[in-house]
């Protein structure tokens, strides 16, 4: 005797669930300074001295409250990268970014943590390397909206050559 499966009825619907969440006191300050003044702020731990970007209320290592704001340079050093050959959905647009492209982690001068972002450079191993100096490119002030997409991309500083070896 075979068990007869029940036919399930499905009703296709699309649920629209708009939502907003509070960025919080520290992230709000970070985003407002970025939007209004083009400043990149980080927070420094009073115990271990780590300078975190984006800012966190509590140091994850020391569990003490961070309360010293630090303005970071817009320049830094590429500490890791990947050349992407698959589309990656841009969280700020919801659209895939056309491959190939370079995605990298830059430690801005003065920061302990890194900023991960699109690197605007030809996606070839001849043009990108760990240690490359980069700068942050912001949206023009009139176009800034107060979220992380106000940082458009990272770009290499001019006049550099990939070290041999
Ligand atoms: Zn700490």
CA angle, corner 113, sides to 108 and 118, nearest 5?
Answer: 60
Chain segment 10-19, per-residue pLDDT in tens: 888 888 888 8
Q: How far is the CA of 106 from the centre of ligand 1 (A)?
A: 21
- Tell whether the model's pLDDT for residue 1 goes beyond 60: no
Q: Whole-angstrom Cα distance, residue 146 to residue 150?
A: 7
pLDDT at 92: 66
**Residue 64 DSSP label:** -
Q: Percent of the chain beyond pLDDT 70? A: 96
Whether residue 100 is preceded by a cis peptide bond, meaning omega within 30 degrees of 0, is yes
Residues near ligand 1 ion, CB 5 Å cutoff = 45, 47-48, 59, 61-62
Note the pLDDT of residue 165: 72
Task: Tokens for 32, please give them.
Answer: 């407002």
What does the pLDDT read at residue 104?
A: 95
CA of residue 59 to ligand 1 center, whole Å:
5
Instruction: Quote the tokens at residue 33.
Output: 């300074």
């Amino acid at each position: 005797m075979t068990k007869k499966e029940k036919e399930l009825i499905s009703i296709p619907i699309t649920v629209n669930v708009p939502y907003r969440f509070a960025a919080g006191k520290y992230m709000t300050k970070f985003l407002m300074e970025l939007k209004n003044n083009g400043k990149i702020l980080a927070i420094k731990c009073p115990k271990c001295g780590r300078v975190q970007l984006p800012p966190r209320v509590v140091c994850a290592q020391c569990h003490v409250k961070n309360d010293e704001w630090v303005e970071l340079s817009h320049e830094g050093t590429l500490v890791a990268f990947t050349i992407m050959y698959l589309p990656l959905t841009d969280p700020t647009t919801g659209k895939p970014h056309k491959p190939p492209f370079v995605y990298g982690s830059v430690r801005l001068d003065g920061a302990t943590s890194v900023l991960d972002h699109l690197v605007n450079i030809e996606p070839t191993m001849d043009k990108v390397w760990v240690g490359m100096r980069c700068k942050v490119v912001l949206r023009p002030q009139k176009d800034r909206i107060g979220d992380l997409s106000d940082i458009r991309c990272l770009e290499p500083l001019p006049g550099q050559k990939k070290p041999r070896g």
